[in-house]
Structure 1
Amino acid sequence: MVTGRVARITDFGAFIQFENGEVGLVHISQIAHSYVRNVSDYLQEGQTIEVKVLGRDEKGRLDLSIKELQDAPEEMPRPRMIGRQSPEFENKLRSFLRDAKERGPGEKGGKKRKK
Structure 2
Amino acid sequence: MSVEIGKVVEGAVTGITNFGAFIQLPEGKTGLCHISEVADDYVKDISTYLKQQQKVMVKVISIDGNGKISLSIRKAKETPPKKTNQPMQIDWQKKNVEIGLSFEEKMNKFMKESDERQQQLKAHLKDSRRGNGFNAKKESVR
Shorter-normalised TM range: 0.5 to 0.7
1:21 aligns with 2:21: no
Matching residue of 2:14: 7
Which consecutive unaligned segments of at least 5 residues does structure 2 have? 1-7, 83-142
- Which one has more relative contact order, counting CA pairs under 8 Å at least 6 apart? 1
Matching residue of 2:56: 49
Q: CA deviation at 1:58?
A: 3.9
**CA RMSD, Structure 1 to Structure 2 (Å):** 1.8
Which consecutive unaligned segments of at least 5 residues does structure 1 have? 75-115
Higher strand share: 1
Q: Distance in 2 between matches of 1:32 and 1:72?
A: 16
Contact 1:7 1:14 in 2 (8 A): yes
Q: CA deviation at 1:18?
A: 1.7
Q: Distance in 1 between matches of 2:56 and 2:71?
A: 11
Q: What whole-Å deviation, never above 9, does each CA across 1:13-33 have from its counterpart, x for those lacking one?
A: 000002311000000000011
Q: How does 1:1-115 map to 2 (within 5 A)?
A: 1-70=8-77, 71=79
TM-score of the two chains, using structure 1 as the length reference: 0.59
Name the larger-Rg structure: 2
Q: Distance in 2 between matches of 1:5 and 1:32?
A: 16
Q: Distance in 2 between matches of 1:59 and 1:47?
A: 26
Paired residues, number: 74
Q: Distance in 2 between matches of 1:12 and 1:28?
A: 5
Query: Are the structure 2 counterparts of residues 4 and 22 from structure 1 closer, same or farther at C-alpha, using a change threshold of 3 Å?
Result: same
TM-score of the two chains, using structure 2 as the length reference: 0.49
State the identity as a percent: 45
Contact 1:33 1:72 in 2 (8 A): no
Query: Are the structure 2 counterparts of residues 40 and 59 from structure 1 closer, same or farther at C-alpha, using a change threshold of 3 Å?
Result: same
Contact 1:8 1:15 in 2 (8 A): yes
Q: Distance in 1 between matches of 2:71 and 2:13?
A: 12
Structure 1: 4+ residue segments shifted above 6 A = none
Query: Are the structure 2 counterparts of residues 73 and 38 from structure 1 closer, same or farther at C-alpha, using a change threshold of 3 Å?
Result: farther
Contact 1:52 1:65 in 2 (8 A): yes
